[in-house]
Chain A
Amino acid sequence: MSSTERTINRLLLGAALLVLILSFAVYVAYALNLMQFPFDYDQGEGFELVDTVLFSQGRFPYLDTNVYPFYSSNYPPLFHVIAAPSVWLFGDAYWYGRFLGFLGTLVTAGAIAFAVYRDGGHHKWIAALSGLAFLASNTVYHIGPLFRQHMTMVMFETLAVVVLAHANEIEDTGGRRRSIFAGLALVMAAGYTKQLALATAVGVFMFLFIRQPRRAVVWALGFALVGGAIFLWMNIATSGQWWLQTITANVNDYYPDQTVGLFRLWFSLHGFLLVPATLYAVYELYFSRLSVYTIWFVASLGTAVLSGKWGAGDSYFATSIAALCILSGLFASRTLNRSWTFPQNYLSRLFIFPFRSLAPALGTLGMVVIPLLYVGYGRATLHLPTNEPLFAPLATLFGVEANAQNGFYDSAGRIAGGYADIGHFVTAADIEAGWRIVDLVRATEKPVLSEDAAFNLLAGKQVITNPTQLLNLANGGHFDSAALIAMIQGQEFGLVIFRAQFYPIDVLQAIARNYEQTESVTMNGFEYLILQPRGNS
């Protein structure tokens, strides 16, 4: 490599780093903004807080939804258990759950950078770019700093594959067993954080099986025994509600168009890294040994296919994004280190060896193209507030205009159902609007049926119902709405607060018959409808 090539390469890598550091700065600002917002930002956050509160009291949140307060969680417990001590210290608040989610993405990015550095020939720049690329993804940005368990699952998944990547090759028996045990414990942690980690478990065991079938079978038996025992214990302890609420209720209608649309969005945002990641996976398949990263990437696409379920969405691609950041990083490192090797086989004789004379020129080309891929990725995933003090001058400089609410530009957008319209910063007016609704809740002595948990929690009232979970159950014929409808008909709720009207149809009809809208409050882009008992308002 000539000094000119090296200089150009370093300059371009510096430019790529700058672009992704800017994206990281936006991410940190967004996380700090959300941590100061005391209400639900994304649908369902408040119910994750309720789950955390219940665990902090030593209670399971897997409850019978047919009886008052008609509440249950539909997620596994680990994220909420991790957050539970914060309830003892800080009370009911959203910031610590959001902080945990944010922290999880930083750990994931660190693990990606470490994997690329360790397995990609110790290229520091590419390792850093790979970690930052994960955080720059619109999907990761959107859901990272939420009080949701998804990114904590991705963190455990990523740590698991990084630990297991070379575990089979450890000569010392004790060391090997400890590594495999740690890796599988992390897979188990991911699974008990969110059910979608099943794909990673499948990928990991496929990898172990390919490398050493006997060992894989033995460990799989132990894994199934421990995982099954925990599952059984929780099911018995909750009188079967664990199975009903977390497994049965999650079998929802599937819309193929939603999956296709979200795949298109995923490709349009991550294509610059997806192409090299796929090329690297093909390289391993035909010319090298399959790594856990490639198998994990393929398995993660199985989760992405499920994104067409009702209630699913772009978050289902987060695991694949972590995997593609590692694979593209390995591709980039190999190219810049010029360390591609091709063994003799029919494919190398057909497609590689005839073009060997082009290798030096391709190597030089790679010095320019690789950094430009990361620059292109930074542009494809660009998201930026256009009216915040630090970012407004940049937005003006680059001619970026807001295309989302509260003066936010986001290159991602809704092209299919299941896309979360979030990422914008919240304002003082949003917070003021939230407290206005809390005041309304406080003003009634009766319980309040609210689609967001925050208003009841902040007013010191019990949270009643988890609407989407009731809808999940109702769609599958597992919810008896009689008791809830009787309370609505008796006007036992002082207020009803709608955000998206995700209650089961018969519940919505009962509310329409017995309550009427008296006010609407706009917060965070949503119009919250305030309904009072008919005849009383």
Chain B
Amino acid sequence: MLSNHFTLTKRHLGLLLLIGGAAAFVAILAIDIVDVGREGGIGPAQQIALGASVLVALVGLTLIPIGSQDA
């Protein structure tokens, strides 16, 4: 990774998006757990963010099988 010629592949990118999407999903849900005083449950902005994080994770999942092609 530290080489001057290293570049990310579709698999690398897929893994990054999958992990990033999953982490974002958990973090968005955690807002309500950490900030217990919040009212109204999962709000519209949170719902949009949750949808986006699921989409990112799914895109990542579909990239992983493509393998070693340059991203």
Interface residues of A (CB under 8 A from B): 209-215, 254, 256-257, 259, 285-286, 289-290, 305, 308, 343, 345-347
Q: How large is the interface on B (under 10, 10 to 19, 20 to 34, 35 or more residues)?
A: 20 to 34
Given contacts A214-B3, A256-B48, 20 further A-B contacts (CB under 8 A): A210-B7, A210-B8, A210-B71, A211-B8, A212-B6, A213-B1, A213-B6, A214-B4, A214-B6, A256-B44, A256-B45, A259-B48, A285-B59, A286-B10, A286-B62, A286-B66, A289-B70, A289-B71, A346-B66, A347-B66
Given contacts A256-B48, A289-B70, A289-B71, contact A212 B63 (CB under 8 A): no
Which 9 residue pairs of A and B lie closest in terms of their CB atoms, listed nearest first? A256-B44, A210-B8, A345-B66, A210-B71, A214-B2, A256-B45, A289-B70, A346-B65, A213-B1
Q: In whole angstroms, how far apart are the Cα atoms of A346 and B8 in the complex? A: 19
Given contacts A254-B45, A290-B71, contact A209 B8 (CB under 8 A): yes
CB distance from B29 to the nearest CB of A (A): 18
Q: In whole angstroms, how far apart are the Cα atoms of A254 and B49 in the complex? A: 14
Interface residues of B (CB under 8 A from A): 1-4, 6-8, 10, 13, 43-45, 48, 59, 62-63, 65-67, 69-71
Q: In whole angstroms, how far apart are the Cα atoms of A259 and B45 in the complex? A: 10
List the A side residues contacting B43 at CB < 8 Å: 256
CB distance from B35 to the nearest CB of A (A): 16
Q: Is the CB of B69 within 8 A of A213?
A: no
A-B contacts counted at CB < 8 A amount to: 47
CB distance from A297 to the nearest CB of B (A): 14
Q: Is the CB of B69 within 8 A of A345?
A: yes
Nearest neighbor of A214 in chain B, beta-carbon distance: B2
List the A side residues contacting B7 at CB < 8 Å: 210-212
CB distance from A511 to the nearest CB of B (A): 34
List the A side residues contacting B59 at CB < 8 Å: 285
Q: Is the CB of B6 within 8 A of A305?
A: no
List the A side residues contacting B69 at CB < 8 Å: 343, 345
Nearest neighbor of B66 in chain A, beta-carbon distance: A345
Nearest neighbor of A286 in chain B, beta-carbon distance: B66
Some 13 contacts from A to B, beta carbons below 8 A apart, are A209-B8, A210-B7, A210-B8, A210-B71, A211-B8, A213-B8, A214-B6, A254-B45, A256-B43, A259-B48, A286-B63, A308-B45, A343-B69
Q: In whole angstroms, how far apart are the Cα atoms of A357 and B61 in the complex? A: 30
CB distance from A24 to the nearest CB of B (A): 35
List the B side residues contacting A254 at CB < 8 Å: 45
List the A side residues contacting B44 at CB < 8 Å: 256-257
CB distance from A301 to the nearest CB of B (A): 9
Q: In whole angstroms, how far apart are the Cα atoms of A310 and B47 in the complex? A: 20
CB distance from A176 to the nearest CB of B (A): 11
Q: Is the CB of B48 within 8 A of A345?
A: no
Q: In whole angstroms, how far apart are the Cα atoms of A214 and B43 in the complex? A: 39
Q: Is the CB of A305 within 8 A of B48?
A: yes
Interface centre among A259, A285, A308, A343 (most CB of B within 10 A): A285
B1's partner among A214, A256, A257 (CB-CB below 8 A) is A214
Nearest neighbor of A215 in chain B, beta-carbon distance: B4
Q: In whole angstroms, how far apart are the Cα atoms of A381 and B16 in the complex? A: 38
CB distance from B38 to the nearest CB of A (A): 15
Q: In whole angstroms, how far apart are the Cα atoms of A209 and B71 in the complex? A: 11
Q: In whole angstroms, how far apart are the Cα atoms of A210 and B8 in the complex? A: 5
Q: Is the CB of A345 within 8 A of B65?
A: yes
List the B side residues contacting A256 at CB < 8 Å: 43-45, 48
CB distance from B20 to the nearest CB of A (A): 11
List the B side residues contacting A285 at CB < 8 Å: 59, 63
Q: In whole angstroms, how far apart are the Cα atoms of A121 and B1 in the complex? A: 33
List the B side residues contacting A212 at CB < 8 Å: 4, 6-7
Q: In whole angstroms, how far apart are the Cα atoms of A25 and B66 in the complex? A: 47
Q: In whole angstroms, how far apart are the Cα atoms of A343 and B71 in the complex? A: 13
List the B side residues contacting A259 at CB < 8 Å: 48
Q: In whole angstroms, how far apart are the Cα atoms of A372 and B13 in the complex? A: 36
Q: In whole angstroms, how far apart are the Cα atoms of A346 and B11 in the complex? A: 13
Q: In whole angstroms, how far apart are the Cα atoms of A209 and B8 in the complex? A: 8
List the A side residues contacting B8 at CB < 8 Å: 209-211, 213
List the A side residues contacting B2 at CB < 8 Å: 214
List the B side residues contacting A289 at CB < 8 Å: 70-71
Q: In whole angstroms, how far apart are the Cα atoms of A286 and B63 in the complex? A: 7
Nearest neighbor of B49 in chain A, beta-carbon distance: A305
Q: In whole angstroms, how far apart are the Cα atoms of A343 and B10 in the complex? A: 13
Q: In whole angstroms, how far apart are the Cα atoms of A209 and B67 in the complex? A: 18
Q: In whole angstroms, how far apart are the Cα atoms of A285 and B4 in the complex? A: 23
Q: In whole angstroms, how far apart are the Cα atoms of A347 and B67 in the complex? A: 12
